[in-house]
């Protein structure tokens, strides 16, 4: 609907703003902005992590620069937030970003989310040297729930 027709929108303000057009190139054309944007999104989403976060591991920013980002800045923000949620260490790694990026590129989101969860659980187990109790604690789930998930993964193979 036309915003000028709404009484709360002033007609004179509309005409002032209408003359201002800002052209922002797509993220794929602004690789030099990638590090600053990634750090901004990391700082913005730091509270989502259940662990201390120090920043990006070596090579992570270079990995971000290599991508085409068809979803532009929103896709980058999602990628950083998901890497924080599913990552395990103090740094966001290339592996964290690859897991999120590959899941994001899947056609069927429910399958992609399940695959991201599966990889995350397996990485947590690897990180905890196979100790289920420690991995469950790290993941914030019960060991029973973790055993259920692992049984699901075995039946899917």
User: What are the pLDDT digits (tens) for 95-137?
Assistant: 999 888 766 565 434 556 778 888 889 889 988 999 999 999 9
The neighbour count for residue 48, using CB atoms within 10 Å, is: 12
Burial of 72 (0-12, 13-18, 19+ CB in 10 A): middle
Q: Bigger pLDDT: 104 or 27?
A: 27
What is the average pLDDT across 126-155?
Answer: 91
Map tokens 């999104």 to a residue. 41
The predicted model scores a pTM of 0.59
Domains annotated for the chain, with CATH where assigned, are 27-156 (1.10.8.60)
Question: Please, what sign has the CA dihedral across residues 99, 103, 104, 109?
Answer: negative
User: What are the pLDDT digits (tens) for 31-85?
Assistant: 999 999 999 999 998 887 778 899 999 999 999 999 988 888 999 999 999 999 8
Q: What are phi and psi of 126, to 5 degrees?
A: -65, -45
Q: Which one of 2-11, 89-98, 116-125 scores highest in mean pLDDT? A: 89-98
């Amino acid at each position: 609907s036309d915003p000028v027709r709404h009484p709360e929108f002033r007609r004179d303000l509309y005409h002032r703003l209408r003359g201002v057009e800002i052209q922002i190139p797509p993220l794929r054309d602004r690789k030099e902005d990638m590090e600053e944007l990634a750090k901004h999104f990391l700082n913005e989403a730091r509270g989502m992590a259940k662990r201390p976060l120090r920043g990006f591991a070596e090579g992570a920013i270079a990995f971000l620069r290599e991508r085409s980002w068809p979803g532009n800045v929103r896709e980058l923000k999602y990628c950083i937030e998901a890497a924080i949620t599913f990552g395990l260490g103090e740094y966001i790694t290339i592996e964290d970003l690859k897991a999120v990026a590959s899941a994001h590129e899947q056609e069927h989101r429910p399958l992609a989310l399940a695959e991201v969860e599966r990889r995350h659980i397996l990485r947590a187990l690897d990180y905890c040297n196979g100790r289920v109790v420690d991995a469950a604690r790290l993941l914030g789930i019960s060991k029973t729930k973790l055993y259920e998930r692992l049984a699901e993964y075995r039946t899917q193979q």
